[in-house]
Amino acid sequence: MILPLGPIHPGLKEPIRLKLKTRGEKVLSAEIDYGYVHRGIERVMEGKTWQKGIYLSERVCGICSYIHTQTFAETFEKIAGERAPIRAQFLRVLTNELDRIQSHLIANSTFFKAMEHETLFVYMLHLREPVMDAIELLTGNRVNMGWNVVGGVKMDVNQSHLDSIMKIMMDLESEYDKYVEMFEHGPLLGLRSRDVGKMTRDDAIKARAVGPVGRASGLKHDLREKHHTYHDNFDFKVIWRKEGDNYARTMNRFDEITQSIRLIKQVIENIPPGEVRKKINIPAGYGDWRNEAPRGEVTYMIETNGNLINNVSIRTPSIMNIDACAKYMLKDVATVPDALATYASVDPCIACTERSVIIDDESQELLERQNKKEE
């Protein structure tokens, strides 16, 4: 039988429809229906200045909104052949890693809720709140921060704020391990986590899985390692696992949180003095830029006449990861509750997946040009 889940369902945090083909409780295959919350952000950006465009980019995703403004700004900086001041680069790393921590915590909390571990669900949200306080202390806002501009960040940070953020990280680190231990050795580990929702490395490559989803299946790919020179200043290594199941995806995020805490400490201990913003004159041209968002690779492709945005195309990570889930992870899952837990383990973001209308000819041409460059 065909079992539809969604578009509105208690196990789905955003509108989408999962169509599970089942025999009894066993899931034989799955399909995804998109299109319930299209917003047309890319089209709305056309004809706007970068100031209005960056405002819209921050509303592509509600959980990891920050990285969209950084990628947008760095695309314009690439078009101009300029870089943000070094202190601004450090502050971008700091904000990005704080945002990664809160995103991973809410991702794992959603997974724990799906596997009916309400204790860990609540504890993850408890750990997330001080991190959100740190983001607010740094930028003035908790979610839509309005922090990045073309040429740097909006304002400098006081040393007292950095000291407070360091204390928050130390407190988080001191109580973090016991919750990871609770998951690793808890009674529900084998029920809907280990050996459930498996995706091999070859399947991850076929699906172009990105972020923690791809790395949990053995793909040693993180844009922070080679693509982004900001991280050349820090001790950084790619976190990955080879099991490819719900357990691996959850643990990969836990391990990345530990690494983000370490990166934040390095930023605070080594941040250089100097300006945080400089004026950049933007010429007409085309630029594309990629960053490692909490969920994986985000790409912006922008054409501008120097004053207004002619065309923009945004590629977000969830579309690849959701398709990877439908094609490979949900196949032959033992029960429908296991299927819901597997879907939650991918940390899908429907808001960023549904950011645009159907791709027009100009956007399609930009995408094809970018794909040729990557090949």
Instruction: Indicate the domain borders of the chain.
Output: 2-374
User: pLDDT tens digit string along 81-123?
Assistant: 999 999 999 999 999 999 999 999 999 999 999 888 889 999 9
Report the chain's mean pLDDT, rounded to a whole number.
90
Residue 45: helix, strand or coil by DSSP? helix
Which pLDDT value is given to residue 121?
Answer: 94
Question: What is the mean pLDDT of the segment spanning 256-272?
Answer: 96
Question: What is the mean pLDDT of the segment spanning 54-65?
Answer: 91
DSSP H or E stretch at residue 5 = strand 2-5
Question: What is the mean pLDDT of the segment spanning 270-295?
Answer: 95
Which pLDDT value is given to residue 358?
Answer: 42
Q: Residue 369: which pLDDT band, with cuts at 50, 70 and 90? A: low
Which pLDDT value is given to residue 368?
Answer: 58
Question: What is the mean pLDDT of the segment spanning 21-48?
Answer: 90
Q: Is residue 216 pLDDT above 80, yes or no?
A: yes
Contact assessment for residue 245 and residue 196, using Cβ atoms and an 8 Å cutoff: yes
Which pLDDT value is given to residue 260?
Answer: 96
If you count them, how many residues does the chain have? 375
Which pLDDT value is given to residue 347?
Answer: 94
Q: 7 preceded by cis ω (within 30°)?
A: yes
Q: Residue 14: which pLDDT band, with cuts at 50, 70 and 90? A: confident
Q: Residue 372: which pLDDT band, with cuts at 50, 70 and 90? A: low
Which pLDDT value is given to residue 234?
Answer: 87
Percent of the chain at pLDDT exceeding 70: 93
Question: What is the mean pLDDT of the segment spanning 240-260?
Answer: 96
Percent of the chain at pLDDT exceeding 90: 74
CATH class of 2-374: mainly alpha
Report how far residue 52's alpha carbon sits from residue 69's, in angstroms, rounded to the nearest whole number: 11
Instruction: Find all residues with CB under 8 Å of 220, minimum gap 6, and list them.
Output: 238, 240
Q: Residue 232: which pLDDT band, with cuts at 50, 70 and 90? A: confident
Residue type, 62: G
